[in-house]
Structure 1
Amino acid sequence: MKLQHIDIHNAITALTCSLDLVGVDEIRHGKRVAVMARAIAEHLNWPESECLSILYSGMLHDCGVSRIHEHRRITETLEWEGAEDHCIRGADYLSACQPLAHLSTEIRYHHTRWEKLLETPIDDRLRLRANLLFLADRVDVLQAPFLDSGLIMIEYPGIIARIKMLSGILFAPELVDAFVEIADVEAFWLAMEHEYLDEDLRRIGSHTPKTLLGIPALKELARLFSRVVDAKSPYTDEHSQRVAQIARQLAMDFGIGGYELEQVEIAGLLHDIGKLRVSEDIIDKPGSLTPEERATMHRHSYDTFRILQRVFEDSKIPVWAGFHHETLIGDGYPFKNGNKELDLECRIITVADIFQALAQERPYRRTMTLEYILNDLQSRVEDGHLDAKVVAKLAENAELYYRLAVA
């Protein structure tokens, strides 16, 4: 089986960008949590492997959040009812992803009070790691309102004082003591500015060896993020996974195999990752979109393209995933590419996406019948939008594809 060199540091950093899109107006929350958690771990003289691991946990700690309304609750208060819901989801997602499964327990408990954690039957190491994520996460909630205005230089002593009051209650005393020691300097807070944050993550990554991942591990990573995307709405449940299955089968029917076939499936899994920026109010809207809402929706494929470029530098995956709303006559989005610029794999994913979406219930319409869907696809062929050969190939075994779309 062919392997691809994937820089796991850059991959997690890039995929964290997609998670941060959920916040819309609170970008880089995951990165700030990660950098603060790592700084505290370093101050406590944790081994480098532990410091790096907690950095990745920090970047992925909110992988159970895909809805903007839930993200706002997370970033507006220290504690709230239902806080564990996204922790449980995130732990579930990570436990099914072998390359990141070792992070699942600390993600599961990253909103659990220290006094309750002491009664929780988990390993002492994981207990402290989970609480470190909680501490860094809540510090970021307290600092975020003051970052862009520069007022953090005035407000940070108050944040430190508040965290000290919660020692032994919300947070482990040894973690609070370490935080107080490193946060009582301006540099700690100034490092949270966007440009410095990104610079520090690149610097850490430059000293991190690349990890060689096989196709199964890459697909698990892709499936993890497809689950986050599809959880934005009950109407998109398993959409990305089903698009990937349909695209894979179509590619096989065209004789595509080997490593290229696996890339088609991964592109199908990740084709909507940019949609995390789109509010569920738009996705779940039962009526027509306003021009402003449509513009927000249209940018998701570009965000997909740019995010995946950072993960799969030497692959066609970003193109095949990011071009899924392009058309053969060049009136699609976001690049308005036409026939000559669209690989067969792009055309396959486009057809798979439309086919599955039509087979799935949406807030503005019911599930479409197979006959209706085939007629719809053919009309798009006649309009010059879809590839006639791809649609014809799907129609040859339409019932199989319909089962892949809905079963």
Structure 2
Amino acid sequence: MSDVHIRLAEIIQALSQALDLTEGQPPGHCIRCCYIGTAIGREIGLPESELQDLYYTLLLKDLGCSSNAARICELYLADDLSFKRDFKLVDGSLSQILRFVIGHTGMKVALAERFRSILNILQNGGEISTELIQTRCQRGADIARQMRFSEKVAEGILGLDEHWDGGGKPDGKAGEGIPLFSRIALIAQVIDVFQMSNGPQSALNEINKREGSWFDPEVVDVFSRVAARSGFWEVLNSSSLEAKVLASEPGQHVIMADEDYLDDIAAAFAKVIDAKSPYTSGHSDRVAFFTDIIAEELGIDFERRRLLRRAALLHDIGKLGVSNSVLDKPGKLDDAEWLQMRRHAEFSEQILSNIGAFSGAAKIGGAHHERLDGTGYPRGLTERDIPMDVRIVSTADVFDALTADRPYRDAMPISQALSILREGAGKSHDPLCIEALARALGRAPLQQATWRRSLVGRKSLSFSGIS
């Protein structure tokens, strides 16, 4: 395949909107932060090379946020999306934290269970907060490195929750010991949260109140100059902001992504997706692996298989917009929860369709829960409307779901999973894909190195009886 060259900023901007989902923020949060933060960087006088790193730090600041979602649900017995959204309005004072904890912990559980959770948080709050932030920041930095961003970008993400006075997390860094990119990203985040919630004056009041505690006083002064300029707030909240931020990418040249880089970006973002739930750890990698061996068995060429692998890695990106209280629920979902779960396919299609490089994956992301007999979702498509590419990824997806642990059951043996697929052949899934998978799995012991590497985190699998 000849390399295609696609704007990296275009891809990262679109992917950043998936990060907005998992943080419970209004669409475009990371893009607005990028506009705010790069304006600060330019006012400070950063050279173009540093502005470029700052630009990507701001777009990707929330890369690790999905990794603490399940833990938040477990500790606070709460919807992680609304919890994260509302917590960003807390200024860190003891009174606000107490009100937040009491008002957001266990609101839908029995009183005794709620009391125990609140007591645990009040007794161990510092340790819990450090754990959640450390997980988020370290994971985000690691994924940024995998996406080939510089160490300055990784360090900027790692230090996002550090405070100027040393009272932040996870390392309690203070003053200029905090990376400048982190200092800018934190203030940009708070500015956007408060201006979206209560308007520009609210944002200005908040950063002035936290000057010298959360925020570098110099950065506060710089932003005050930026904010006073005519049109700043209007542009920040305009419908053309996304295009403006894309057009203003710093640097002497526009960074382009070739085919190998696109593979790396898809693989890295799959880690963001799978970190959302402990039950989906490694899911996207395994679906990509099963997709590839089905496609190979069906005689599909390398170029199309490469696109299929990317689609498989990103098919569940919409789950970033679903609460872990739904994703990890051990019992049956009620009607409202099921509706929320079903929406993840729509979210996947919506996000991927905005990325030119991954637009081919949008159809697969939106249709991977459709069934040949029309009983799937979200559109109830029937056989004639479901392309082979969708059928391949759908088969791989269900096979992995059956052979992995889920909140409501243990993993099934491979033979049982194949039997279930075969029972639904022609109704739920394509029999050609099912038999291609069975043949490929039958040869899997001959490719043990690839097999083991592709099934990281999976319980031991038995290959007996899978022909």
- Shorter-chain TM-score bucket reads 0.7 to 0.9
Matches within 5 A, 1:92-111: 92-99=142-149, 103-111=153-161
The residue number in structure 1 matching 2:437 is 394
Instruction: Using the aligned pairs only, state the percent identity.
Output: 29
Structure 1, unpaired ranges of 5+:
147-151
Residue 244 of structure 1 corresponds to 288
Corresponding residue for 1:56? 56
Paired with 2:252 and 2:304, the residues of 1 have a C-alpha distance of 28
Cα drift, residue 136 of structure 1: 1.4
Shifted more, 275-284 versus 69-78: the winner is: 69-78
Counterpart of 1:222 in 2: which secondary structure?
Answer: helix
Residue aligning to 2:88? 75
Q: Which shifted more, 280-289 or 182-191?
A: 182-191
Map 1:334-353 → 2, pairs under 5 A: 334-353=378-397
Partner residue in 2 for 1:326: 370
In 2, distance between residues paired with 1:34 and 1:282? 31
TM-score (norm 2): 0.76
Bigger drift between 180-189 and 106-115 goes to 180-189
Residue in structure 2 matching 1:367, options 411, 415, 425: 411
- State the shift of 1:390 in Å: 0.7
Does 1:225 find its partner at 2:272?
Answer: no
Partner of 2:341: 297
- The 8 Å contact of residues 330 and 338 in structure 1, kept in 2 or not, is answered as yes
Question: Which residue pairs with 1:255 in the alignment?
Answer: 299
- Aligned partners of 1:153 and 1:186 also within 8 Å: no
Amino acid at match of 1:34: C
**8 A Cα contact 1:99 1:217, kept in partner:** no
Q: How many angstroms does 1:226 deviate by?
A: 1.0
**Matching residue's letter, 2:22:** V
- The answer on whether the counterparts of 1:305 and 1:318 sit within 8 Å (CA) in structure 2 is yes
Give the Å deviation of 1:274: 0.8
Shift of 1:314: 7.6
The aligned length equals 396
Q: Which amino acid aligns with 1:127?
A: P
Structure 1 equivalent of residue 28 of structure 2: 28
- TM-aligned CA distance change 1:182 to 1:121, over 3 Å: closer
Residue 201, structure 1, aligned to residue 251, structure 2 = no
1:186–1:161 CA distance, 2 compared to 1 (3 A)? farther
Distance 1:380 1:325 in 2: 14
User: Which residue in 2 is equivalent to 1:149?
Assistant: none
Quote the Cα distance in structure 2 between the aligned partners of 1:47 and 1:95. Answer: 22
SS of 1:77's partner is coil
2:327 aligns to what? 283
Equivalent runs, 1:28-47 vs 2, <5 Å? 28-47=28-47
Alignment RMSD, CA only? 3.0
**Structure 1 counterpart SS, 2:138:** helix
Hey, what's the Cα distance between the residues in 2 that align with 1:157 and 1:208?
A: 33
Deviation at 1:389, TM superposition (A): 0.8
Listed as ranges, the gaps of 5+ residues in structure 2 are 70-79, 93-125, 446-450, 460-467
Counterpart secondary structure, 2:428: coil
* Shift in Å, 1:315: 5.3
> What is the aligned partner in structure 1 of residue 138 from structure 2?
88
Bigger mean CA deviation after superposition, 45-54 or 29-38: 45-54
**Matched residues in 1 for 2:149 and 2:306: separation?**
18
Partner of residue 155 from structure 1, selected from 198, 202, 216 = 202
Per the TM alignment, residue 244 of structure 1 is displaced from its structure 2 partner at its CA by: 0.7
Q: By how many angstroms is 1:205 displaced?
A: 6.2
Q: Is the 8 Å Cα contact of residues 12 and 59 (structure 1) preserved in structure 2?
A: yes
Deviation at 1:78, TM superposition (A): 4.1
**Whole-Å Cα distance in 2 between the matches of residues 289 and 105 of structure 1?**
40
Whether the aligned pair in 1 keeps the contact of 2:23 and 2:85 (CA below 8 Å) is yes
